[in-house]
Amino acid sequence: MKTHQFEVIVVGAGGAGLMAGLYASKTAKTAVISKLYPTRSHTGAAQGGIGAALGNEEEDRTEWHTYDTVKGSDYLGDQDAIEFMCEEAPGIVYELEHMGLPFSRTAEGRIAQRPFGGHTNNETGVPVRRACYAADRTGHMILQTLYQQCVKNNVTFFDEFQVLDMIVVNGKAAGVVTIELATGELHVFHAKAVIFATGGYGRVWEITTNAYANTGDGIAITLRHGIPAEDMEFFQFHPTGIYKMGILITEGVRGEGGVLINDKGERFMAKEEYAPHVKDLASRDVVSRAMYLEMKNGLGIGGKRYLYLDVRPETVNKYAALDGRTNPDGTPYTVTADDILSRLPDIIDFCKTYLGVDPVVDPMPVQPTAHYAMGGIPTNVKGEVVIDKKNTVMPGVYAAGETSCVSVHGSNRLGTNSLLDLVVFGKQAGVNAAEYARGTDFQPLPADPAGPAREQLARLRNSSGAERISTIGTEMKAVMFDHVGVFRTEAGMTEAVEKIRELKERFKHIRLDDRGTVFNMELLNAWELGNLLDIAEVTAVSALTRRESRGAHARDDYPERNDKKWMKHTLAWLQEDGVKLDYKPVTFTKYEPKVRVY
């Protein structure tokens, strides 16, 4: 076992982790630890754009962005945090540009912007161009640019080190325990502050846009240390994933004029009961639900569980004309196949590779797919982790990015707001952790800091049952997708909770083939499955308990939003005997809850 000492440890090297690392390392001795090479992080998969009211293409205001985000969150977002994020947005996008990020450009040479679901001109209600983008590779460019800056600034990395546990002494962070994948050796990192930026947990579901590595490790680790998880029932299902595979087709496709089509060839989003005003550019929960209902009513293509996303130039031009959509200069909006190709190159590549479909010629088969965790480790605006309903700060523990819940996304995140969240709060966490570290001493390490982690691994390694982790994982994903997915019912969720508990029991009797130490990926996959099971349980129980429909949490049996009883954040603790819940109030500044129409 090796021991290292750093003032600040950043766990995770996605957009949030790199931003935190970059800022923390300016003033504190910092190490960034990641189980993947940094550039393999899932931030690189983000396609559509990062939201900021730059007003490069047309008039836009920070307040509109704020309001859209509040509305998009179905009023569950904390408004102080949302205001902060939206005000920081333009500055931080310029900062990224100054770091060299190659944004697409307008004719004047400014950062190009495109419309995205839920982002509107508040005066006219028309979709506004707010998403700053680099073709359909915005996340890739952010990840690469931040990594490049870290190389430039000599940030210390520990690549392919997986964090297994946090060390807590006197109620304060004292470091983390990691395993070096290449050797199987445990390393203890003694630190004053720990920032979790471990990303999402979309691997709980069967059809997902998320990477294999998105197993919610940060949330699972903090849950084990008595830190609650906030709003876990709110998980976003993206409307347009490639049928069966779940690979994301960015909302940017609809931003460029693509429309959703059902079996009858109708553009169903225009229906009165869905989103007659902004139609296909309604926020994601609304669209996913509409798709679910269409398919439930037998209007899936050929009666199957998918619909068409159509971005063929003739379709786009037809509906753009019907909607009276115009360019910023007032001329009617039209596109050619080349425009589509240059704005959405990767999407076209995905479709050709995986479906053999050329989107310029044929529509794409899509279905809603698990995408983004609104919930996570509760934090405040400074990135500090808060552990109860009174927002008590746990000293030295920070979180940022998808793994955290500030909460700026409330019950439903608007597209482009996550990349924004990463950089804004990644920076906050980095700056504040470094400052905290400067004003405090190292906590003494306990006698055997790696003990609990070693025990966890030993249990998995020596477990001598007959269960394969792949079987348990597959069953968990299936039940979560079927019953804790786009639409939820009491009966389904109850079944899911029971099933998860059964799987957790079976998980104690697994058998692993790999007994080695060098790159024992099976062992680590088993450990990750344990995390997913914990998170699945917390998610299902939180969802089962919330008896209303709000944002991404849509229930058959309680179809309405219930502000009287449920305008509050869920806090869930994982204990020996199950999940314990509590609630904390939502912060309001100036936006009163209204009925949400798009």
Partner 1 sequence: MQVTLKIFRYDPEKDKKPHYDAFKMEAEPTDRVLDLLEKAKGYQDGTISFRRSCAHGVCGSDAMRINGMNRLACKTLVQDLGVNKITVEPILGLPILKDLIVDMEPFFDNYRAVTPYFINDEPAPAKERLQSPEDRERFDDTTKCILCGACTTSCPSFWANDQYLGPSAIVNAHRFIFDSRDKGAAERLAVLNDLFGVYRCHTIFNCTLACPREIQITQAIGEVKKAIATGKLD
Q: How far apart are the C-alpha atoms of 175 and 227, rounded to whole Å?
A: 16
Is residue 207 near ligand FAD by the rule CB under 6 A? no
Q: Which of 8, 9, 10, 16 binds ligand FAD (CB under 6 A)?
A: 16
Q: How far apart are the C-alpha atoms of 460 and 424, rounded to whole Å?
A: 38
Q: How far apart are the C-alpha atoms of 531 and 213, rounded to whole Å?
A: 12
Is residue 118 near ligand FAD by the rule CB under 6 A? no
Q: Tell me which residue has its CB nearest to ligand FAD.
A: 14
399 binds, among ligand FAD, partner 1, none (CB under 5 to 8 A by kind): none
User: Please, are residues 19 and 423 in contact by the beta-carbon 8 Å criterion?
Assistant: yes
Site string for ligand FAD, 124-153 (x = CB under 6 A): --------------xx--------------
Is residue 217 near ligand FAD by the rule CB under 6 A? yes
403 binds, among partner 1, ligand FAD, none (CB under 5 to 8 A by kind): ligand FAD
324 binds, among ligand FAD, partner 1, none (CB under 5 to 8 A by kind): none
Q: How far apart are the C-alpha atoms of 506 and 423, rounded to whole Å?
A: 40
Q: Calculate helix-pair angle for 521-545, 451-462, nearest 10 degrees.
A: 100
DSSP 201-227: -GGGSSSBSS-TT-S-HHHHHHHHTT-
Write down the least CB distance from residue 123 to partner 1, Å: 24
Of 79 and 416, the one with the shorter C-beta distance to ligand FAD is 416
H helix intervals, 439-489: 451-462, 469-483
501 binds, among partner 1, ligand FAD, none (CB under 5 to 8 A by kind): none
428 binds, among partner 1, ligand FAD, none (CB under 5 to 8 A by kind): none
Of the candidates 297, 295, 286, the one whose C-alpha atom is nearest the C-alpha of residue 238 is: 286
Is residue 168 near ligand FAD by the rule CB under 6 A? no
422 binds, among partner 1, ligand FAD, none (CB under 5 to 8 A by kind): ligand FAD
Write down the least CB distance from residue 181 to partner 1, Å: 9
Q: Which contacts qualify for 580-584: CB closer than 8 Å, 24 or more apart?
A: 581/541, 581/542, 581/545, 582/228, 582/388, 582/389, 583/389, 584/230, 584/388, 584/389, 584/390, 584/391
Of 199 and 300, the one with the shorter C-beta distance to ligand FAD is 199
Maximum Cα–Cα distance across the chain = 72
Beta strands in 439-543 (DSSP E): 487-488
Q: Is 488 a known active-site residue? A: no
Q: Which of 6, 8, 9, 12 binds ligand FAD (CB under 6 A)?
A: 12
If one counts every other C-beta atom within 10 angstroms of the C-beta of residue 335, the result is: 18
- List, by residue number, the catalytic residues: 284
Binding site for ligand FAD (CB under 6 A): 11-17, 33-36, 38, 41-43, 45-50, 138-139, 162-163, 197-200, 209-210, 213-214, 217, 248, 250, 371-372, 401-403, 415-419, 422
